[in-house]
Amino acid sequence: MPEVIEVDFLRKEVQQLLVGKTVLKGVLIKESLSNLNANQFSEILEGKTIIGARRKGKVLIIDFSKEVSLLTHFLLTGFARFYEQCPNINYQVALYFAGNGCLLINGIMLGGFVKILRTDKVFEEDGVKELGIDVLSLDFTLDRFKQILNSNRRKTIKQVLIDQHIIAGIGNAYSDEILFEAKVLPFRKCEDLTNADTENIFNVKEKVFERSIAFGGESELSFVHLDGKRGEFHKHFNVHKREGESCPICGTPIIMKKIGGRSSYYCPNCQKEEA
């Protein structure tokens, strides 16, 4: 699924490619994704100009003139594309721009959303208001991370990393890769982590994110950049979705185990119970 890095790419691409574009026509095909019906959707967006883009966790926020914002949660399989020449293809949501070009959103499953809100109400909305601190936020410091682990001591580190209500942005793939880099087993309880483990996890996430950015993010499922290019980071995962393959460091077969209903992939040799 698009996690923090992928949605952040989209944020930057909206800034670069779409700011200044005015909506000629907004079309909502799949009303179940939205808080509005198709007519309202169309009415509100018509004539509005894109003025910026933001992100909270995995939610992309596109801001328009007149205090209108569009919030998108792509969930597992959603994606967004910008076309200079609009193709005749299926979509769930389309924004056709004055002049030329369109933004098409498709593939979002039940639970994802494309909502229209007043800009000043964005952070009060379901799906946004309950999100924890954003993993790329400057306020997400090592001290804050320690506090978070301290208040979730009975949970496993994997659960805490992927719980969007605690830390927003990290999903299954990045949590597996971060814990591999930090050499920490995913099912260790937060209360059992040493200071060194905690610092390690906090620090290596940057390394994992930077690597992902260098590869254009991960496109294991649906993510593409606005121009349609896929990311390559998933081809370089060390452990995620690599069950049975050799650990790139020690050669031990990678294990998959369900933790809190989510699959975790790890190397039983490199990732330790104790630091």
Q: How far is the CB of 233 from Zn ion (least distance, A)?
A: 20
Interaction residues for Zn ion, span 2-61 (CB under 5 A): none
Q: Return the structure tokens found at 35.
A: 């808080």
Residues 80 and 226: beta-carbon distance below 8 Å: yes
Instruction: State which residue, 42 or 269, has the beta carbon closest to Zn ion.
Output: 269
Q: How far is the CB of 186 from Zn ion (least distance, A)?
A: 14
Instruction: State which residue, 73 or 188, has the beta carbon closest to Zn ion.
Output: 188
Q: How far is the CB of 125 from Zn ion (least distance, A)?
A: 42
Instruction: Tell me the number of residues near Zn ion by CB under 5 A.
Output: 7
Residues 226 and 10: beta-carbon distance below 8 Å: yes
Nearest to 249 by CA among 263, 268, 275, 233: 268
Q: How far is the CB of 185 from Zn ion (least distance, A)?
A: 12
Nearest to 19 by CA among 11, 28, 29, 27: 11
Instruction: State which residue, 69 or 200, has the beta carbon closest to Zn ion.
Output: 200
Using CA atoms of 19, 23, 27, 33 in order, give the dihedral in degrees to the nearest 10.
Answer: 40
The answer for residues whose C-beta is within 8 angstroms of residue 5's C-beta and 6 or more apart is 174, 209, 212, 213, 217, 218, 233
* 239 near Zn ion (CB under 5 A): no
Instruction: State which residue, 214 or 250, has the beta carbon closest to Zn ion.
Output: 250
Q: How far is the CB of 202 from Zn ion (least distance, A)?
A: 21
Residues 91 and 203: beta-carbon distance below 8 Å: no
Instruction: State which residue, 89 or 250, has the beta carbon closest to Zn ion.
Output: 250
Q: How far is the CB of 252 from Zn ion (least distance, A)?
A: 5
Q: Measured at CB, which residue is nearest to Zn ion?
A: 247
Rounded to whole angstroms, the Cα distance separating 85 from 231 reads: 23
Instruction: State which residue, 161 or 270, has the beta carbon closest to Zn ion.
Output: 270
Rounded to whole angstroms, the Cα distance separating 126 from 195 reads: 35
Instruction: State which residue, 109 or 249, has the beta carbon closest to Zn ion.
Output: 249
Instruction: State which residue, 34 or 175, has the beta carbon closest to Zn ion.
Output: 175
Q: How far is the CB of 83 from Zn ion (least distance, A)?
A: 44
Rounded to whole angstroms, the Cα distance separating 1 from 59 reads: 12
Rounded to whole angstroms, the Cα distance separating 190 from 213 reads: 28
Residues 158 and 187: beta-carbon distance below 8 Å: yes
Q: How far is the CB of 250 from Zn ion (least distance, A)?
A: 3
Q: Return the structure tokens found at 23.
A: 């909506």
Interaction residues for Zn ion, span 244-273 (CB under 5 A): 247, 249-250, 252, 267, 269-270
List residues near Zn ion by CB under 5 A: 247, 249-250, 252, 267, 269-270
